[in-house]
Amino acid sequence: MNQVLQDLVTLLDLETLEYNLFRGASRNLGGRSVFGGQVLGQALIAAGRTVQNAQAHSLHGYFLRPGDMQAPIVYEVDRVRDGQHFSVRRVQAIQFGRPIFTMITSFQLPEDGLEHQAPMPDVPPPEQLRSQSELREQWLARHGDVVPERLKTAIRRPLPIEFRHVTPWNFLAPDVRPPKQQIWFRTPGKLPDDPMLHRCVLAYSSDFNFLSTALMAHGKSFLDPDMAVASIDHAIWFHRDVRVDDWLLYCMESPTAQSARGLSRGLIYDRSGRLVASVAQENLMREHRLPKTPD
C-alpha cells in the first residue's frame, strides 16, 4: 500500500470521542473546501461503527455548508432504528457547532433473494487506456500557460484513487459533448479485507468526476470563473459486495439540468460485469454573467 492510499485509510479511521460521537481530520485536494467524498466516507464509517454484522445498502446525504479543511469534523450518530433485518442511522457532520452535512443510511443483515441487473457496457479494458495523471500532464503541456501555479499544483497532487477514462474530456479546454462518461477506477494498492472499508472507499471515490458530467453538455468546467458549482446531495445504493482495490467501471450520465441545478446518475460495475452500486447526485451549476471588459 503506497503512502497516499495509507493516508486515506488513516483518514477513514475515525477517533471515537464518546458513545455515538466520532472525530475525523481532512485532507486538501486542491479545492476551496473539504472534498465531499471524504465527508461521505467518514460519515458512513461513523454510522457503521454503531452497527453489528449488517452491511450498508444505501445512503442519502445533503451537503449543507462548505467544510473547513483546517478544522476537525465531529460526526454525531443517531441510532434511529434496529429491526430484525434492517438498521437505520442518521449522521450529522459538525464544524464550529453547525452541521455541514447530514445523512441517513440503512444497513441490512445478509439475506438471499431474487436477482437481476442491467448489463455492463462493452468498453475497452483499463489496461488499454491512459492514466488520468498522464492525461493531465498532457493537458497542462497544452494549456499550462493560462493555468495558475496554485491550480497546477492541485492538478498534479497524487490521489488515493487511480482513474482511466474511456473517452477523456479535457477540463482545461472543455468542449460541448453528450453528458455521458465512463471511467475505470481502483485504489493503487491492496486494501484490508474489510467489507465496510471497501464500501466507504467506494463512497469516497463516487464523488470524483461526477459533477463534471452535467457540465459537459454546456462545454463548461468546474474551473470556469463564470461558474459556481457544488454538490447539493448524494445518494448511493450498494447492491453487492465490492472490492475497490480491483478495477471498477463507473458509467455516468446527466439526464437533465435546470434552475441552476444538474442531475447526474451512475452505475458502477466490477470487472466481471456485476452491478455493485448505483449513484445519484444533484449539483449546483450556477452561471454568473461576468462584466464585459471594455474594448
What domains are there in the chain, each with its CATH number? 3-110+133-287 (2.40.160.210)
Active site residue 281: yes
The model's pTM is 0.93
With a cut of 90, say whether residue 196 has pLDDT above it.
Answer: yes
The C-alpha cell that represents 122 in the structure block: 462493452
Measured in Å, how far apart are the chain's first and last C-alpha atoms?
A: 55
With a cut of 50, say whether residue 295 has pLDDT above it.
Answer: no
Considering only residues 34 and 145, tell me which one the structure prediction assigns the higher pLDDT. 34
Please tell me which residue in 38, 92, 207, 278 is annotated as part of the active site. 207
The C-alpha cell that represents 94 in the structure block: 459538525
Residues 262, 208: Cα–Cα separation, whole Å: 16
Active site residue 254: no
With a cut of 80, say whether residue 289 has pLDDT above it.
Answer: no
pLDDT, tens only, 217-247: 999 988 888 889 999 999 999 999 999 999 9
Please tell me which residue in 106, 231, 254, 264 is annotated as part of the active site. 231
Can you tell me the mean pLDDT for 90-100?
Answer: 97
| Number of other residues whose CB lies within 10 A of the CB of residue 209 | 20
Active site residue 224: no
